[in-house]
Amino acid sequence: MAAEGPSIRLIQVAEHPRLLKMKEMFVSKFGSIPEFYVRAPGRVNLIGEHIDYCGYAVLPMAIEQDILIAVEPVKSQTFYLANTNSFFLDFSTSVNDIHINKTKPQWHNYFLCGLKGIQDHFNLKNPTGMNCLLDGIIPPSSGLSSSSALVCCAGLVTLRANGLSLSKTELAEICTKSERYIGTEGGGMDQSISFLGEEGMAKLIEFNPLRATDVQLPSEASFVIANSCVEMNKAATSHFNTRVMECRLAAKFLAKYKGLKWKEVEICNCLEISLEELRTQILSKNTQDVLLFKLYQRAKHVFSEAARVLQFKKICEEAPANSIQLLGDLMNQSHVSCRTLYECSCPELDRLVDLCRQFGAQGSRLTGAGWGGCAVSLVPTDKLPDLLANVQEAYYQSKKGRLAVEKPCLFATKPGEPSARRAFNECLLITR
């Protein structure tokens, strides 16, 4: 893959209602016009859940929902961040004094991750201050990667404002590391697809070294994203990190004892380490008090899910007549594995997945970290209208409008189509 940087486009702001609205808000907030805009998309993961942090390939697709930030570098050392949504309060700090609050992860902390990531990478002694206005349309805590899109956007904002450049893969790797300042030990899927993806094009993302390959999905397939409306902030609980630690420990066990009897082993004895070493050198802060680690079933999920990703890609390449059915089967197996072995689903998601299948999806599964958030379903395009109407009625109407009214809960993406319709569909810099 070419080591190219994110695209830079000259776009007439006046021709894009969303950019124009941001520009107007920026002017009334800061009394000046933005110098540039940055965009980073969210993603839906089609298959390959909770395996990126073990180094295995995943298969996500960038989506239309994104984060846009309007930026003006300023001479002072002040960083000021505002949001078009007044629910999110303004934030300001000195660019030389970045503190990321892990205990109470608020929205601006994700910006600070990207900001600090670039500062640290270049060892910037005198970073520029900036005024920023953010407009985000990825539903938060929904498994569509709103937090990583914000980290990526912030990384690119900081890069540009300081007159620096990096390739997309370098940016993805730096933003992956810097999101960990918030305390979650995620893999690189979200940041990689945000930088390397194009809306509507599925990509196989492989790690070490990071690379992205187009995966052509069957032309008669649509994907439906349905929000369970259960919010899950992976930085606010220890569920996510506990899974990462379990995988880390499982890998250590497999390396140390090939053929180990996996039931009832005592971790410290087997690894010949003290409890203190286990806590401080292997576990993350928010998993140090976890009493039970389920290594066998987590590892079983990881290995089987990693194999499903490769099968999924192979079916897409070989395109047999029953592709949709085969791909759907893999997605269904993935959900069962997430639910039973990885225990990262929840009753609402399970219900939603069942309803999607009942109303015509060939396959349906949770997407993203889980414990809430969205399901993604593979639907033959001719069944799409019926499925949308039925799921709307069965899941959302019955929820009596809770959350459902304000948030986009159910939408379809037809791979390959949207990018042609829209002016921008990737992570990029926009200069007016």
Residue 50 binds to ligand GLA (criterion: CB under 6 A) = yes
The strand pairing partners of 430, in sequence order, are 9, 37
Q: Is residue 174 classed exposed, middle or buried when 0-12, 13-18 and 19+ CB atoms within 10 A define those classes?
A: buried
Residue 53 binds to ligand GLA (criterion: CB under 6 A) = yes
Give the count of beta carbons closer than 10 Å to the beta carbon of residue 209: 8
Residue 117 binds to ligand GLA (criterion: CB under 6 A) = no
Residue 210 binds to ligand GLA (criterion: CB under 6 A) = no
Quick one: which segment of 4-12, 46-54, 105-113, 419-427 binds ligand GLA (CB under 6 A)? 46-54
* Nearest approach, Cβ of residue 420 and ligand GLA (Å): 28
Active site residues: 190
Residue 368 binds to ligand GLA (criterion: CB under 6 A) = yes
Distances (CA, A) of 62 to 74, 138, 220, 311, 382: 32, 12, 19, 21, 23
Residue 187 binds to ligand GLA (criterion: CB under 6 A) = yes
Helix axes 323-340, 295-318, angle to 10 degrees: 170
* Nearest approach, Cβ of residue 323 and ligand GLA (Å): 24
Residue 372 binds to ligand GLA (criterion: CB under 6 A) = no
Residue 369 binds to ligand GLA (criterion: CB under 6 A) = yes
Under a CB-based contact definition with an 8 Å cutoff, are residues 142 and 190 in contact?
A: no
Between CA 201 and CA 215 the distance in angstroms is 7
Nearer to ligand GLA by Cβ, of 49 and 426: the residue is: 49
Say which residues have a Cβ less than 8 Å from residue 91's Cβ, sequence separation at least 6.
80, 81, 108, 111
* Nearest approach, Cβ of residue 47 and ligand GLA (Å): 10
* Nearest approach, Cβ of residue 418 and ligand GLA (Å): 22
Residue 426 binds to ligand GLA (criterion: CB under 6 A) = no
Under a CB-based contact definition with an 8 Å cutoff, are residues 199 and 425 in contact?
A: yes
Nearer to ligand GLA by Cβ, of 368 and 415: the residue is: 368
Q: Is residue 112 classed exposed, middle or buried when 0-12, 13-18 and 19+ CB atoms within 10 A define those classes?
A: buried
Near ligand GLA in 132-151, by CB under 6 A: 145, 148
Among 6, 52, 139, 376, binds ligand GLA (CB under 6 A): 52
SS3 22: helix
Quick one: which segment of 42-50, 63-71, 335-343, 393-401 binds ligand GLA (CB under 6 A)? 42-50
Residues of this chain that bind ligand GLA (CB under 6 A): 45, 49-50, 52-53, 145, 148, 186-187, 189-190, 368-369
